[in-house]
């Protein structure tokens, strides 16, 4: 007997949809300590610059919530055996640690004193949940098995002054616990901080980790189509050639295009949407166009067929939204020529790209 298909509007589907409806943008304002150990430095830059919005389906969002709930349980477990745990600030928020003018940092799970392994030593606490396969890999030690987790703890130790971290992992399949003390490595911390500073200061993305689009790290990456395809970045202040992170403030970004309009600090909500003066950082379009000029505020490109087009607001130019939404990027030059003809007939500002 054939299986009856699940109704389109099932209870589970509606619950997942509710999570998606409530979800905020996955792009953080800062470069996170949880990412700094990633194998690809270009990935870090593309993440920091919001090249693509990270969206998760309802099931994954619910899974993230499950991980958050496990943290509270682990705190209770530690307190139950007499460990002193500080998992919240006096006003009930997570502990935050920041560096590089607020552009780099993260939120600690907590700090602990009185662990049986070293009762008189303060430890940075790091909690993680794992599936069966991932949990078994921890037998190699967290530095080998989970280098990003190891790097995250090194950053937290370096920024708080604690010289030990305590890693607690939960096997989601059988609730088994894994614990490991991690020692602070000042050389590794310096390397990670220098890497973060390099990423934040870079006006263009670092080189790809591989030129092979089928390589497993690239194949599974959120930015695969940006590095190895012809996707155009989403439109926001971080992908705009006019914006720059300010290194003497508190996570601020400055705009060189409209001084005095956004003030020295572009508000976060404005950063997420950009403005009509948005011009792509030219190298982000290099897979289908090459910058050849800059005229009257527009960036001028030549596409793969040798046709010239502009990114801007002048008659015949394509806005950044036009370029982003254009499915066949190889047609950018031809579309721009058509737009110029339409603008001459119907006036500037006519849209030909949905």
pLDDT in tens, 245-290: 998 888 999 998 765 554 568 999 999 999 999 999 999 999 999 9
81 pairs with which residues across the strands? none
**103 and 242 belong to one structural domain:** no
* Number of residues written out for the chain: 354
Confidence at 354, pLDDT banded by 50, 70, 90? very low
DSSP 7: P
Q: Which residues are 301's β-sheet partners?
A: 291, 309
Note whether 195 and 235 are same-domain residues: no
Residues 236, 197 within the same domain: no
CA distances to 233, 289, 295, 303, 309 from 292, rounded to whole Å, are: 20, 9, 10, 10, 10
Q: Is 43 helix (H, G, I), strand (E, B) or coil?
A: helix
The pTM score is 0.89
Residue 40: the pLDDT is: 97
Q: Is 170 a residue whose pLDDT tops 80? A: yes
Task: Return the higher-pLDDT residue of 175 and 1.
Answer: 175
Q: Does some domain include residue 224?
A: no
Note the pLDDT of residue 61.
77
**Distance of alpha carbon 125 from alpha carbon 72, whole angstroms:** 12
DSSP state letters, 275-320: -TT--B-GGGGTTTEEEEEEETTEEEEEETTS-EEEESSSTTPBPH
Using the predicted structure, report yes or no on whether residue 351 has a pLDDT greater than 60. Answer: no
Answer yes or no: is 97 within a domain: yes
Question: d(Cα 318, Cα 80) in Å, to the nearest integer?
Answer: 62
More confident residue, 168 or 13: 168
User: Is residue 86 scored above 80 in pLDDT?
Assistant: yes
What mean pLDDT is predicted for residues 332-337? 79
Place of tokens 């509007």: 9
* pLDDT reported for residue 18: 85
Q: Is the pLDDT of residue 73 over 70?
A: yes
CA dihedral 327, 328, 330, 334 (to 10 degrees): -90
pLDDT digits (tens, 9 = 90+) for 213-252: 999 999 999 999 999 999 999 999 999 999 999 988 889 9
Highest mean pLDDT: which range of 8-22, 316-330, 335-349: 316-330
Which of 186, 201, 216 is the last residue before a domain boundary?
A: 201
Q: What percent of the chain has pLDDT over 90?
A: 71
As a whole number of angstroms, the distance between CA 133 and CA 174 comes to: 12
Domain ranges, residue 109: 29-201
Of the three residues 185, 201, 217, the one that is the final residue of a domain is 201
Most distant CA atoms of the chain, gap in Å: 79
> What CATH number did the domain enclosing 166 receive?
3.90.320.10
Tokens of 289: 């166009």
Q: Greater confidence, 15 or 199?
A: 199
- Average pLDDT taken over every residue of the chain: 90
Same domain assignment for residues 61 and 158: yes
Is the predicted pLDDT of residue 349 greater than 60, yes or no? no
- Candidates 45, 72, 162; CA nearest to 112 is 162
Cα four-point dihedral sign 24, 29, 33, 37 = positive
Percent of the chain exceeding pLDDT 70 equals 91
Q: Where are the alpha helices (DSSP H) in the chain?
A: 11-22, 41-48, 58-80, 132-137, 142-145, 147-160, 186-201, 216-219, 224-227, 268-273, 320-325, 332-346
Domain count along the chain:
2
Residues 179 and 276 in one domain: no
């Amino acid at each position: 007997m054939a299986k009856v298909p699940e109704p389109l509007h099932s209870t589970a589907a509606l619950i997942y949809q509710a999570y998606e409806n409530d979800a905020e943008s996955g792009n953080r304002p800062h470069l996170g300590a949880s990412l700094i150990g990633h194998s690809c430095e270009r990935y870090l830059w593309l993440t920091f610059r919001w090249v693509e919005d990270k969206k998760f389906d309802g099931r994954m969002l619910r899974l993230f919530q499950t991980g958050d709930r496990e943290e509270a349980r682990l705190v209770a477990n530690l307190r139950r055996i007499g460990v002193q745990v500080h998992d919240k600030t006096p006003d009930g928020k997570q502990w935050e640690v920041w560096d590089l003018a607020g552009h780099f940092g993260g939120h600690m799970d907590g700090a602990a004193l009185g662990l049986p392994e070293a009762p008189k030593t303060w430890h940075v606490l790091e909690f993680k949940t794992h599936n069966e396969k991932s949990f078994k890999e921890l037998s190699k030690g967290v530095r080998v098995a989970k280098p990003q987790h190891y790097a995250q703890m090194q950053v937290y130790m370096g920024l708080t002054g604690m010289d030990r971290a305590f890693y607690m992992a939960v096997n989601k399949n059988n609730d088994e616990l894994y614990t490991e003390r991690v020692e602070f490595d000042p050389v590794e911390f310096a390397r990670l901080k220098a890497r973060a500073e390099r990423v934040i200061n870079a006006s263009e993305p670092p080189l790809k980790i591989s030129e092979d689009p089928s390589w497993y790290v690239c194949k599974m990456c959120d930015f695969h189509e940006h590095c190895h395809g012809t996707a155009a970045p989403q439109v926001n202040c971080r992908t705009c050639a006019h914006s720059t992170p300010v290194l003497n403030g508190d996570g601020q970004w400055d705009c060189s295009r409209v001084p005095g309009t956004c003030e020295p600090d572009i508000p976060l909500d404005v950063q997420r949407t950009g403005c009509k003066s948005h011009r792509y950082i030219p190298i982000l379009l290099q897979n289908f166009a090459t910058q050849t000029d800059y005229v009257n505020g527009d960036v001028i490109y030549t596409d793969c067929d040798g046709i010239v087009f502009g990114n801007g607001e002048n008659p015949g130019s394509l806005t950044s939204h036009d370029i982003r939404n254009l499915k066949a990027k190889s047609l950018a030059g031809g579309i721009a020529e058509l737009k110029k003809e339409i603008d001459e007939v119907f006036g500037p500002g006519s849209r030909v790209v949905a």
